[in-house]
Amino acid sequence: MGDQFPIKGRVSAWDGDTLIAESEAAVATDTVEANGGILIPAADGSLTSHDPEALRIEVEDRWPNGGGTTNRFPRWGDVDDLLRLIDVQPAGDGAFTGPTYGDIRRNVVEGGQLLAMSMVAAAKSAPDKRVVNAHIVLERPAVFDKPIDLTVDRQRVGRQFATLGVRATQGGKPVSCSLILLDHGSPDLITGQIAMPEVKGPEDCPAHDFGLLGRDVRFVNGDYDPDPDRIGPPELHCWIRHRDAPKELYLQQALLAQPVTHFTIAAAMLPHPGFGEAQAHYTLSTGVLTATIALHGEPDLTDWLLYTNPAIHAGRGLAQGQGHVFTRDGRLVASYTVQAMIREFAASANESGLDSTRIM
């Protein structure tokens, strides 16, 4: 049967409402589940193939702290896979490389991952300082199955602050450019912040399956919905926590920043009948163009964080979002802005030579 890779968690296969198989010893046929099939032990111990297109196959991942997630098979991967991708490695003087990944279902690297990678490259280039602001312009879609090269320009490195530019390329072509501000730190002189909005707590919100083990995501009222007929205000509120957190501050910051590009497009379309995430990359050309995040504090990523995401403007093929990240007790730990495009395709998928797995 070829190579087999153990799946973390309890796997259950459902035919409608009927449970037909359940096991904690299921295996995938590819290291990246998105590209492979699933084999579940039968009563006699033999491995039986189950079709995820015909059945509902779920993987329940229970965490040591009592939390956990349930994701439909196939999943994108584990939060450890995401950390490996954003933890770019030195490749020479001022140079870093991000590794490849095998997901070819939708072979487009998210803007939030590139933002996180740029933050890590900058932090490793000025290790005595912490990132306090990061801005990225996304110039061209990157793919998972080729490495991403990053070059850091130490524009100014002083005692208190450092300004670093980060250029990302793939195959010699530009992918993104970033400007990162780092700070040595200072005691509080004055303090203040906006109030956290009053929304339902995470226990009262439905879980959302982003296909990522190790990250629990819950949208208030389940408002992140691909259905184009779902209507609501142009805002999303999202609770997020992680199974565990990396020990390095720069990876904690990168992991906190990575989701911020997920929400603006969906929030902007919510008030408009006939428009939804299900149309993205099929009948609508969508994608994040820029993102900026300011980092105010270091929260515990294993506890709930609230990402608030109003879309403050939509028009001329663009959408603008602004967001904040709060700890559960109301402490503001980050704020951000995102600009994205929502427009008709300039050329059909056939004319462009791309399909939904690559087209923006």
- pLDDT tens track for 102-144: 877 778 999 999 999 999 999 999 999 999 999 999 999 999 9
More confident position, 61 or 348? 61
Instruction: Indicate the pLDDT class of residue 282, thresholds 50, 70 and 90.
Output: confident
DSSP structure class, residue 93: T
In this prediction, residue 275 carries a pLDDT of 85
Element (H, E) at 80: helix 79-86
Q: What are phi and psi of 160, to 5 degrees?
A: -100, -45
CA distance 55 to 294: 43
Which residues have C-beta within 8 Å of that of residue 347, sequence separation ≥ 6? none
DSSP string, 268-308: HHTTSTT--GGGBTTTBEEEEEEEEEEE-----TTS-EEEE
Q: How far apart are the first and last CA of the chain?
A: 36
pLDDT cut 70: percent of the chain above it: 95
In this prediction, residue 350 carries a pLDDT of 54
**How far is residue 272 from each of residues 155, 265, 276, 282, measured CA to CA in Å?**
44, 12, 8, 18
Report which residue type is found at 287.
G
Residue 260: name the closest of 197, 307, 208 by CA: 307
**pLDDT, tens digit (0-9, with 9 covering 90-100), for 230-276:** 899 999 999 999 999 999 999 999 999 999 999 999 999 999 998 87
CA distance 296 to 131: 10
In the numeric block, which tokens belong to residue 73?
A: 């098979």
In the numeric block, which tokens belong to residue 23?
A: 């096991």
In this prediction, residue 100 carries a pLDDT of 95
User: What is this structure's pTM?
Assistant: 0.92
Q: Which long-range contacts (C-beta less than 8 Å, at least 24 apart) are formed by 275-283?
A: 275/228, 275/342, 276/225, 276/226, 276/227, 276/228, 276/229, 276/230, 277/224, 277/225, 277/226, 278/226, 278/227, 278/228, 279/228, 281/106, 281/356, 281/359, 281/360, 282/356, 283/345
Q: Are 322 and 263 a contacting pair, CB within 8 Å?
A: no
In this prediction, residue 358 carries a pLDDT of 56
Q: Are 241 and 303 a contacting pair, CB within 8 Å?
A: yes
**pLDDT, tens digit (0-9, with 9 covering 90-100), for 148-185:** 999 999 999 999 999 999 999 999 999 999 999 999 99
Residue-averaged pLDDT of the chain: 92
**pLDDT, tens digit (0-9, with 9 covering 90-100), for 200-241:** 999 999 999 988 989 999 999 999 988 888 899 999 999 999
